[in-house]
Structure 1
Amino acid sequence: MALSNYERVGKALEYLKNGLAGFIQREVYARFDTTSAQQVIQEFTGGDRILSGKPISQWDVAACLNFMWQKWNEIFGRILGNAERSLVSELREHRNRWAHQGAFTSDDAYRVLDSAERLLTAIAAPEADELEKMKTELLRIRFDEQVRNEKRKGLSSTIESAAATSLKPWREVVTPHKDVASGRYQQAEFAADLWQVHLGEGSDEYRDPIEFYRRTYLTESLKGLLINAIKRLTGAGGDPVVQLQTNFGGGKTHSMLALYHLFSGINPNELVGVDEVLTASSVTSLPSVCRVVLVGNKISAGNPQIKKDGTVVRTLWGELAWQLGGKKAYDRIAADDERATSPGDTLRLLMNEYSPCLILIDEWVAYARQLHDQGDLPGGSFETHFTFAQALTEAAKTARNCLLVISLPASDSTGSPHTIADDAEVGGERGREALTRLRNVIGRLESSWRPATAEEGFEIVRRRLFEPIRDPAHFKDRDVVANAFAEFYQKEQHEFPPECRTVDYEKRIKAAYPIHPEVFDRLYTDWSTLLKFQRTRGVLRLMAAVIHSLWENGDKNPLILPSTIPIDDPRVQSELTRYLSDNWAPIIEKDIDGPNSLPLQIDAEVPNLGKYAATRRVARTIFLGSAPIADAAHHGIEDRRVKLGCVMPGESPAIFGDALRRLAGKATYLYQDSSRFWYSTQPTVTKLAEDRAEQLARDPDAIRMEIEARVRDNLKSSGDFSRIHPFPHGGQDVPDDRDTRLVVLDVTTPHTKDPNSKAVQAAKRILDFRGSVPRIYRNTLVFLAADANRLQDLDAAVRRYLAWKSIVNEKIQLNLTPFQATQAEQQLKTADTTVQAQIPETFQWLIVPTQRSPSDSIEWLTLKLSGTDPLAVRASKKLRNEEHLVLNYAPTRLRMDLDRIPLWSGNHVSVRQLCDYYAQYLYLTRLANAHVLVSCIQNGLGLFSWEQDSFAWADAWDEETKRYRGLRYNQKELKLDPDNPGLLVKPDAALQQLQRESKPVRIEIEPPSTTLKPHETLTFHLKAFDVEGRTVQSEQPLWSATGGTIDARGVYTAGSSVGQYEISAELHGLKAQVRVLISEDAHPSVEDRPFSPSAKVLPTRFHGTVELDPERVGRDAGRIAEEIINHLAIQKNAKIKVILEIEAELPQGADDSLVRTITENARTLKFKSQGFER
Structure 2
Amino acid sequence: MSLKPWREIAVPHEDVLKGTFKQAEFAADLSRVHAGTATAEYQDPALFFQRTFITEGMRLLLDSVVKRLSGRGGDPVIQLQTAFGGGKTHTMLAVYHLVSRDGGKTMVSDLQGVPAILDAAGITELPHAKVVVLDGITSSPNQPVVREGQTIRTLWGDLAWQLGKADGYALVADADSSGTSPGKAVLETLIGRYSPCVILVDELVGYVRQFAEGVTLTGGTLDSNLSFVQALTEALKAVPTAVLLASLPESDREAGSQRGVQALSALSHYFGRIQALWKPVATEEAFEIVRRRLFTDINDKAAAESVCRAFADYYTANGDSFPRDTQESHYFDRLMQAYPIHPEVFDRLYEDWSSLANFQRTRGVLKLMAKVIHRLWKDNDKDPLIMPGSFPLADADTRNEVIYYLPQGWDPVVEKDIDGERAETTEIESFDTRLGSVQACRRTARTIFLGSAPSTPNQMVRGIGVERITLGAAHPGQQVGLYKDALRRLVDRLHYLNSGNDRFWFDTRPNLRREMEDRKRRFQDKEDIFPFIREHVKKAFQGNGVFNATHVFTGSSDVPDDWQLRLVVLPPDAALSKSGPSFALEQAGKILKNRGDQPRFKQNRLIFLVADGDTVNRLKDQVRSTLAWQSIVSDIKEMKLNLDQFQARQAGKSLTDAEDALRRMIRETYKWLVAPMQEAQPGKGMSDVKWEQFQINAGTPNLTQEIERVLKENELLITAWAPIHLAKVLKDWFWKDDVKEFSALKVWQQTCQQLYLPRLKDDAVFQKTMMDGAKGHDFFGFAQGKEDGGYLGFACSPSSELLLSNALLLIEPTAAAAAYQHQVEAQRAAEEAERIAIAKKNSNSQGVEEEDSLDENSTGKEKTTDEKTGKDKKEVAESVKKHFYCNIDLDPILAKKQFSDLVDEVVSQFTSRHGVKVEIAIEIRADSSIGFDGGVQRSVKENCNVLNFKNAEFES
TM-score of the superposed pair, with normalisation by structure 1: 0.45
2:92 partner letter: M
- Aligned counterpart, 2:39: 203
The 1:803–1:183 alpha-carbon spacing in structure 2 relative to 1, beyond 3 Å, is: farther
- Aligned counterpart, 1:287: 127
Deviation per CA, 1:18-49, whole angstroms, max 9, x where unpaired? xxxxxxxxxxxxxxxxxxxxxxxxxxxxxxxx
- Aligned counterpart, 1:248: 84
| Cα distance in 2, alignment partners of residues 567 and 262 from structure 1 | 40
| SS, match of residue 37 in structure 2 | coil
| Cα distance in 2, alignment partners of residues 459 and 353 from structure 1 | 40
Q: Any conservation in 2 of the 1:689–1:807 contact (CA below 8 Å)?
A: no
- Aligned counterpart, 1:581: 407
Q: CA deviation at 1:619?
A: 1.1
Deviation per CA, 1:773-802, whole angstroms, max 9, x where unpaired? xxxxxxxxxxxxxxxxxxxxxxx99x9899
Deviation per CA, 1:333-370, whole angstroms, max 9, x where unpaired? 11111111111111111111100010000111111122
Q: CA deviation at 1:372?
A: 3.7
| Cα distance in 2, alignment partners of residues 810 and 207 from structure 1 | 59
1:488 alignment partner, one of 314, 321, 342: 314
Deviation per CA, 1:975-1029, whole angstroms, max 9, x where unpaired? xxxxxxxxxxxxxxxxxxxxxxxxxxxxxxxxxxxxxxxxxxxxxxxxxxxxxxx
1:299 alignment partner, one of 131, 139, 148: 139
Q: Any conservation in 1 of the 2:201–2:245 contact (CA below 8 Å)?
A: yes
Q: Any conservation in 1 of the 2:132–2:198 contact (CA below 8 Å)?
A: yes
Q: Any conservation in 1 of the 2:75–2:276 contact (CA below 8 Å)?
A: yes
Q: Any conservation in 2 of the 1:808–1:821 contact (CA below 8 Å)?
A: no
| SS, match of residue 126 in structure 2 | coil
- Aligned counterpart, 2:71: 235
Q: CA deviation at 1:547?
A: 0.6
1:534 partner letter: Q
| Cα distance in 2, alignment partners of residues 360 and 479 from structure 1 | 41
- Aligned counterpart, 2:476: 649
Deviation per CA, 1:894-936, whole angstroms, max 9, x where unpaired? xxxxxxxxxxxxxxxxxxxxxxxxxxxxxxxxxxxxxxxxxxx
Q: Any conservation in 2 of the 1:685–1:807 contact (CA below 8 Å)?
A: no
The percent of aligned pairs where both chains have the same amino acid is: 46
- Aligned counterpart, 2:163: 324
Q: CA deviation at 1:270?
A: 0.5
| Cα distance in 1, alignment partners of residues 159 and 515 from structure 2 | 61
2:643 alignment partner, one of 791, 808, 811: 811
Pair 1:820-2:646 in alignment? no
2:232 alignment partner, one of 381, 392, 398: 392
Q: Any conservation in 1 of the 2:55–2:281 contact (CA below 8 Å)?
A: yes
| Cα distance in 1, alignment partners of residues 380 and 87 from structure 2 | 32
| SS, match of residue 658 in structure 1 | helix
| SS, match of residue 533 in structure 1 | coil
- Aligned counterpart, 1:901: none
2:211 alignment partner, one of 361, 371, 377: 371
Pair 1:439-2:268 in alignment? yes
1:214 alignment partner, one of 37, 43, 50: 50
Superposed counterparts of 1:659-698, under 5 Å: 659-688=486-515, 690-691=517-518
Q: CA deviation at 1:810?
A: 5.3
1:451 alignment partner, one of 264, 268, 280: 280
Superposed counterparts of 1:272-671, under 5 Å: 272-307=112-147, 309-344=148-183, 345-411=185-251, 421-422=252-253, 425-469=254-298, 471=299, 474-629=300-455, 632-671=459-498
| Cα distance in 2, alignment partners of residues 645 and 633 from structure 1 | 22
The 1:630–1:404 alpha-carbon spacing in structure 2 relative to 1, beyond 3 Å, is: closer
Q: Any conservation in 1 of the 2:322–2:467 contact (CA below 8 Å)?
A: yes
1:598 partner letter: E
Q: CA deviation at 1:687?
A: 2.4
Superposed counterparts of 1:856-871, under 5 Å: none
Q: CA deviation at 1:373?
A: 3.8
1:296 partner letter: G
Q: Any conservation in 2 of the 1:322–1:330 contact (CA below 8 Å)?
A: yes
| Cα distance in 1, alignment partners of residues 55 and 126 from structure 2 | 21
| SS, match of residue 454 in structure 2 | helix
Deviation per CA, 1:461-493, whole angstroms, max 9, x where unpaired? 111111122x4xx01011111111111122222
| Cα distance in 2, alignment partners of residues 354 and 821 from structure 1 | 74
The 1:366–1:541 alpha-carbon spacing in structure 2 relative to 1, beyond 3 Å, is: same
Q: Any conservation in 2 of the 1:349–1:399 contact (CA below 8 Å)?
A: no
Q: CA deviation at 1:577?
A: 0.4
| SS, match of residue 677 in structure 1 | strand
Q: CA deviation at 1:682?
A: 2.1
| Cα distance in 1, alignment partners of residues 519 and 81 from structure 2 | 47
What residue ranges of structure 1 are gaps of 5+ in the alignment?
A: 1-162, 412-420, 696-795, 827-1174
Q: CA deviation at 1:532?
A: 1.3
2:448 partner letter: I
Q: Any conservation in 2 of the 1:808–1:824 contact (CA below 8 Å)?
A: no
| Cα distance in 2, alignment partners of residues 283 and 807 from structure 1 | 78
| Cα distance in 1, alignment partners of residues 505 and 408 from structure 2 | 18
| Cα distance in 1, alignment partners of residues 513 and 44 from structure 2 | 58
The 1:573–1:352 alpha-carbon spacing in structure 2 relative to 1, beyond 3 Å, is: same
Deviation per CA, 1:730-773, whole angstroms, max 9, x where unpaired? xxxxxxxxxxxxxxxxxxxxxxxxxxxxxxxxxxxxxxxxxxxx
Q: CA RMSD in A?
A: 2.7
Superposed counterparts of 1:60-209, under 5 Å: 166-209=2-45
| Cα distance in 2, alignment partners of residues 366 and 213 from structure 1 | 28
Q: CA deviation at 1:188?
A: 2.1
Q: Any conservation in 2 of the 1:682–1:688 contact (CA below 8 Å)?
A: no
| SS, match of residue 296 in structure 2 | coil
2:219 partner letter: G
- Aligned counterpart, 2:730: none
Q: CA deviation at 1:374?
A: 3.9
Q: Any conservation in 1 of the 2:195–2:241 contact (CA below 8 Å)?
A: yes
Deviation per CA, 1:212-268, whole angstroms, max 9, x where unpaired? 111111111110000000011110001101111011111111111110011013311
| Cα distance in 1, alignment partners of residues 17 and 646 from structure 2 | 44
- Aligned counterpart, 2:882: none
Q: Any conservation in 2 of the 1:693–1:800 contact (CA below 8 Å)?
A: no
The 1:355–1:802 alpha-carbon spacing in structure 2 relative to 1, beyond 3 Å, is: farther
1:312 partner letter: T
1:820 partner letter: Q
Q: Any conservation in 2 of the 1:478–1:510 contact (CA below 8 Å)?
A: yes
1:676 partner letter: R
Q: Any conservation in 1 of the 2:82–2:250 contact (CA below 8 Å)?
A: yes
Aligned length, in residue pairs: 546
Q: CA deviation at 1:816?
A: 2.8
TM-score of the superposed pair, with normalisation by structure 2: 0.55
Deviation per CA, 1:411-466, whole angstroms, max 9, x where unpaired? 3xxxxxxxxx12xx322222122111111111100012121011111111111111
2:345 partner letter: V
| SS, match of residue 381 in structure 2 | coil
| SS, match of residue 245 in structure 2 | strand
- Aligned counterpart, 1:267: 107
Q: Any conservation in 2 of the 1:351–1:400 contact (CA below 8 Å)?
A: no
Q: Any conservation in 2 of the 1:626–1:678 contact (CA below 8 Å)?
A: yes
Q: CA deviation at 1:382?
A: 1.0
The 1:373–1:478 alpha-carbon spacing in structure 2 relative to 1, beyond 3 Å, is: same
The 1:253–1:807 alpha-carbon spacing in structure 2 relative to 1, beyond 3 Å, is: farther
2:89 partner letter: T
